[in-house]
Amino acid sequence: MSVTKTVHGSLLVNGDMTFDGTNIDPTDGVVTFRMPENATVFGPVSFATRSQLTEDALQEYRVSAYEMRVYNDFSSLLPTAPDGTSLGIDSNNSLLGTSAIGVTQTEYAAFMFQLPVEYVDAGELKVRIAGLYDNPASTANTLTVNCFEMDDAGSMGLERCGVTNNLTGSVASHDFAVTSSAFVSGDMLQFRITSISNDGGGAEDSANTIKSVKILMDIKG
Nearest to 60 by CA among 166, 219, 218, 215: 215
Measured from the Cβ of residue 166, the count of other Cβ atoms closer than 10 Å reads: 11
Three-state DSSP at 94 gives coil
CA 192 to chain centre: 14
Q: What domains appear along the chain, each with residue ranges and CATH number?
A: 56-220 (2.60.120.260)
Question: Residues near 21 by Cβ (< 8 Å), separated by ≥ 6?
Answer: none
Contact between residue 125 and residue 215 where contact means Cβ atoms under 8 Å apart: yes
pLDDT digits (tens, 9 = 90+) for 111-133: 999 999 999 999 999 999 999 99
pLDDT digits (tens, 9 = 90+) for 4-51: 666 666 666 666 666 555 566 655 555 666 666 666 766 666 666 667
Contact between residue 217 and residue 127 where contact means Cβ atoms under 8 Å apart: no
**What's the pTM?**
0.80
pLDDT digits (tens, 9 = 90+) for 134-168: 999 999 999 999 999 999 999 999 999 999 999 99
